[in-house]
Amino acid sequence: MKGSGCDKNKVIDVIAKISNAQRQMIRTPYKAKYNKDLVEELKKELSGDFENVIIGLMETPTKYDAIQLQNATKGLGTRESTLVDILCSRTNNELSAIKIEYKNKYGRSLEEDIVGDTSGDFKELLVALLNSKRDTTFNVDVAKAREEARKIMGNKVRKEKPDKATMMQAFTTENFRQLGEVVQRTSK
């Protein structure tokens, strides 16, 4: 990088073709050799979507998630899809690490920002996802999935309403395979 733009193909060759762990490892020798932070130098040289992608690749997955969650809750409007995409798909350990990274980076808790930026059942679901401990096994109990799906959907013939508590419990604590079985049964 020379200060007047850089060769995008070389950036792609170096950054995009290695693992995140390898990208993290090249930051230290770069700093030692040039006495500059690689990410800050990339920000100076790149722009637009290309910059966003490369800078995103340079972050650890945990830090990237924390940044995206903060972006989803800051300013006017909330990017609900980002909140759902991240919070619904991370493991217990990943969520714990994200909460710590968020607090360290922004000086406040992720839960505070979510509570302040969302409302109603959606807020309740997101807070439950942040604080629940999802089952980490791969076990599937078909009978339990059938019963949870029945409760979640309700029974129109018997004039049963959908059971919100069962839905919250299933979506926040069931392992991903069990949850998949529940979801599959709600669509039958």
Least confident of 9-18, 24-33, 83-92, 174-183: 9-18
Tokens of 185: 């049964």
* 112-146 pLDDT per residue, tens: 999 999 999 999 999 999 998 899 999 999 999 99
Domain covering 8-58: architecture: Orthogonal Bundle (1.10)
pLDDT, residue 39, reads 93
pLDDT, residue 156, reads 62
* 29-80 pLDDT per residue, tens: 999 999 999 999 999 999 999 999 999 999 999 999 999 999 999 877 788 9
Would you say residue 20 has pLDDT above 90? yes
Q: Which residue has the tokens 């060759």?
A: 13
Superfamily of domain 61-113: Annexin (1.10.220.10)
65: nearest Cα among 41, 84, 47, 86: 86
In the chain, residues under CATH classification 1.10.220.10 are 8-58, 61-113
pLDDT band at 157 (very low <50, low <70, confident <90, very high): low
Q: Which residue has the tokens 């995140």?
A: 20
pLDDT, residue 98, reads 98
Give CA–CA dist 157/178, Å, rounded: 27
Neighbours of 69 (CB within 10 A): 23
Q: Which residues contact 23 (CB under 8 A, 6 or more apart)?
A: 15, 57, 58
* 3-16 pLDDT per residue, tens: 556 788 888 988 98
10: nearest Cα among 42, 37, 36: 42
pLDDT, residue 77, reads 74
Would you say residue 155 has pLDDT above 70? no
Q: What is the DSSP string of 117-156?
A: H--HHHHHHHHHHHH-----S----HHHHHHHHHHHH--T
Query: Averaged over 13-35, what is the pLDDT?
Result: 92
